[in-house]
Amino acid sequence: MATIVENLAAVRRKIERACAAAGRDPAEVRLLPVSKTHPPELIMEAYRAGERLFGENRPQELAAKAEQLRDVGNLEFAAIGHLQTNKAKLITDWAAEFHALDSIKVAEVLDRRLQQAGRGLDVFIQVNSSGEDQKFGLPPEEVAGFAERLRDYASLRVRGLMTLAIFSDDQVRVGRCFAVMRDLQTRLRDIGTAAGSYDELSMGMSGDFELAIGYGATTVRVGQSIFGARLDPNAYWNPAG
């Protein structure tokens, strides 16, 4: 069985090859290891291999791991899953980034808590690029208006956009989702929305990150290719917390 160090090296090689094929500099693409359902011990293996930022879906799990590892230098967590407002404090207390902003209500709660704490938070607007009813995220046509409203929340530093592409073996269908994001990023830059730079695209996971790089991804979220199959989702978070 391959080790986490070996898995990370394999993923990095794939990133380099995808960048070469797209004529991009690998330094433009950030790997975000997704550690959800995996124990802190495995996070530390990746940390010792050079990783410093880890993605978590559940706010409770993120907070539990961040608290357990709080004394580890420069180790941070990014919240990458849907957020309910009653869990906002876990994000403002423990997360360095939030990749799933798609609600003004959530923006208001986050901003209020961040203002009280005297800190800011890097955020990505989540876009439903596939148009699937079961997915969170804003329809592409609503993003510009949403982005404009984020001017009112000074503690939220908008860095770009995030999406989950359609889960399919059809590379054409997956590629269409990424193309939507690339085009939307261009439009936001053209209209000069002041609430953020929109220089980043958080898109691509274990099964499609190489394709995403070809469409301009700057952050790829890779979990199973690094940590293996997901474990018991209740092991490191408290549903009542």
Q: Tell me the pLDDT tens digit for each residue of 61-70.
A: 999 999 999 9
What is the structure's pLDDT at 102?
Answer: 97
Q: Tell me the pLDDT tens digit for each residue of 190-236.
A: 876 656 678 999 999 999 999 999 999 999 999 999 998 877 766 65
Domain boundaries of the chain, sorted by first residue: 4-227
Q: Tell me the pLDDT tens digit for each residue of 91-118.
A: 999 999 999 999 999 999 999 999 999 9
| Cα–Cα distance list, 34 to 197, 205, 219 (Å) | 25, 9, 12
Q: Which of 122-131, 182-191, 223-232 shows the highest mean pLDDT?
A: 122-131
- Compute the distance between CA of residue 190 and CA of residue 52 in angstroms, rounded to an integer: 33
User: Mean pLDDT in the chain?
Assistant: 93
User: Of 36, 66, 76, nearest to 234 (Cα)?
Assistant: 36
Cβ proximity of 8 and 49 under 8 Å:
yes
User: Quick one: DSSP state of residue 34?
Assistant: B
Cβ proximity of 79 and 97 under 8 Å:
yes
User: Of 75, 69, 143, nearest to 104 (Cα)?
Assistant: 143
- Compute the distance between CA of residue 196 and CA of residue 13 in angstroms, rounded to an integer: 31
Above 70 in pLDDT, residue 239? no
The CATH number of 4-227 is which of 3.20.20.10, 3.20.20.140, 3.40.50.300, 3.40.50.360?
A: 3.20.20.10
Question: What does the pLDDT average to over 76-97?
Answer: 97
- Compute the distance between CA of residue 55 and CA of residue 217 in angstroms, rounded to an integer: 16
Above 60 in pLDDT, residue 125? yes
